[in-house]
Amino acid sequence: MFCKATLLTVALGLMASATPITTKQGVSIPLGKRSTLQNEDGTFNYDKAVIQTVNTINKHRANLINLEKNVGAHVFKAGAFIKDLVTLPAHLIKRQAESLTDEEDDLEWAGTISIGTPGQNFLIDFDTGSSDLWVPSSSCTSSTCRSKSKYTASKSSTGAKKSGSFSIQYGDGSTVSGPVYTDTVAVAGVSVTKQSFSPVTTLSSSFSGDPIDGILGLAYPAISNLNANPYFNTAIEQGAVKEGVFGFKLASTGSELYLGGTNDELYSGSIEYHDIDTSTGFWQLTGAKALVGGKAVVSNFETIIDSGTTIMYGPPAAVKTFYKAISGSAVYDSDQGYYSYPCDSPPTVAFSWGGKQWTISADNFSLGETSSGSGKCVGALAGQDIGLGSNVWLLGDSFMKNVYTAFSFDQDAVGFAALA
């Protein structure tokens, strides 16, 4: 995901201590912990939430630009459009340019990869809502690169520069951009050759004070800025994994990305798979229902499952209908689409795609109190037009932390199972 953040100490130790755990036929990669958009006193951090929303909108704006370029606008969902670049308020641009390592603890799931021969190591955010791999280059001219691990092409015997360029814009007016290379990329024990990526020479100030070095996208090739196969698709093509499936467990402890199958030690029962619409390039499910108290309040919408987004977003009118079903709810911030509800009577919220109802815990649905002692909590579903379509919702970690999620290229499907 494209957000400013700092991982907790456990994540910082991954570079040195995390080793691949081979279980069954796949490979497990431990991930660093992500918390919530809360202050230390349990109140809602509004500024962080605004930054997250701006970065989410701009990430998916870039995805739609890539989709139009690679496939054509004819595959856009009804109401989808390429929004103007959303910019941050001036005071938040200044904040993002500062190193806030003691505060930014909540916006990524990260693990280690290596690029090149011999391998050069990087701490990477694994993002199911994008499709490209980028890391800083040794030629990076941005001050943000100073604290990052950097790729040196001349030190890799398998690296090769290709034609073209890579570029993404951010809400503070900065960019991540660079040339295109291919090289060997290894994630734990899963190694591929001639993987397209960008060693970026400019790095947005959005990443200042953020321990991650780059992003590894896990969505479909259709939304690739490089117009190339993402890493996991290359792994499938080269036979580096036995199954074209990867699984995520995102939790306060024991978070894991599993490549080449699913880790059945982390879930109970069977995985409930649902087909996706592959034309969009996203992990996009159809036929969804949102339930409050066991009753469907919004039905027959589409959902993108995005590990690179912290909360959940839906079209403003649909989200308004959703909160009407929650007793005591009220608009908290109409500009950002946030609602509040009584903390002492949290709603039972769930999503269903025609099978089980997958419930979101009270802790995961709350983004914190509006102010200390107010008794009003901010809900983790916001009404926001992301530009992805008038009937498309975006489900991030606030949903994914409640289930084991499997992403299958073999079946073109997303599956959910109960956490063990």
**Is 180 among the domain residues?**
yes
- In this structure, is residue 66 part of a structural domain? yes
Query: Is there a domain that residue 198 lies in?
Result: yes
Residue 26 lies in a domain: no
219: which 2 tokens?
């969505």
Please tell me which residue in 105, 127, 172, 210 is annotated as part of the active site: 127
Q: Which residues of 254-272 are buried (b: 16+ CB within 10 A; e: fewer)?
A: ebbbbbbbbbbebbeeebb
What is the C-alpha to C-alpha distance for residues 71 and 394, in angstroms, rounded to an integer? 22
**232: in domain:** yes
DSSP label at residue 263: -
Q: Assign 387 to helix, strand or coil.
A: coil
Examine residue 357 and state whether it is found in any structural domain, yes or no: yes
Whole-number CA gyration radius for the chain: 20
In this structure, the answer to whether residues 237 and 267 fall within a common structural domain is: no
| Same domain as 282, residue 177 | no
Within this chain, do residues 220 and 112 fall inside the same structural domain, yes or no? Answer: yes
The answer to whether 410 is a known catalytic residue is no
* pLDDT tens-digit readout, 216-265: 999 999 999 999 999 999 999 999 999 999 999 998 778 899 999 999 99
Tell me, yes or no, whether 271 lies in a domain.
Answer: yes
137/208 same-domain check? yes
Same domain for 369 and 300 = yes
Asked which of 244, 277, 312 is the last residue of a domain, the reply is: 244
Using the 3D structure, point to which of 183, 218, 244 is the last residue of a domain.
Answer: 244
- The tokens describing 93, both together, are 């641009």
Query: Does 22 fall in a domain?
Result: no
Domain tally, the chain = 2
Question: Does 110 share its domain with 211?
Answer: yes
- CB atoms under 10 Å from CB of 144, counted, come to 21
- 412 as an active site residue: the answer is no
Last residue of a domain, one of 244, 279, 297: 244
Q: Are residues 59 and 132 in the same domain?
A: yes
Show the tokens assigned to 334. Answer: 């109409």
290 lies in the same domain as 411: yes
pLDDT truncated to tens, each residue of the chain (420 aa)? 334 332 322 232 333 333 344 345 789 988 875 546 889 899 999 998 998 899 899 999 999 999 999 999 999 999 999 999 999 887 776 544 443 332 234 345 788 899 999 999 999 989 999 999 999 999 998 988 988 999 999 999 999 999 999 999 877 777 899 999 999 999 988 999 999 999 999 998 878 767 889 999 999 999 999 999 999 999 999 999 999 999 999 987 788 999 999 999 999 999 999 999 999 999 999 999 999 999 999 999 999 999 989 999 999 999 999 999 999 999 999 999 999 999 999 999 999 999 999 999 999 999 999 999 999 999 999 999 999 999 999 999 999 999 999 999 999 999 999 999
User: What domain range includes position 332?
Assistant: 259-419
41 and 151 assigned to the same domain? yes
pLDDT at 29: 86
Is residue 178 domain-shared with residue 301, that is, in the same domain? Answer: no
Same domain, 229 and 378: no
Query: What does the longest C-alpha to C-alpha distance in the chain come to?
Result: 63
Residues 131 and 274 in one domain: no
Parallel, antiparallel, or unpaired: how do β-strands 381-383 and 312-314 relate?
parallel
The predicted model scores a pTM of 0.90
Q: Which of 125, 183, 210, 306 is catalytic?
A: 306
Q: Burial code of 301-313, b = ≥16 C-beta within 10 A, e = fewer?
A: bbbbbbbbbbbbb
Q: What is the CATH number of the domain that holds 148?
A: 2.40.70.10
Indicate the SS3 state at residue 101: coil
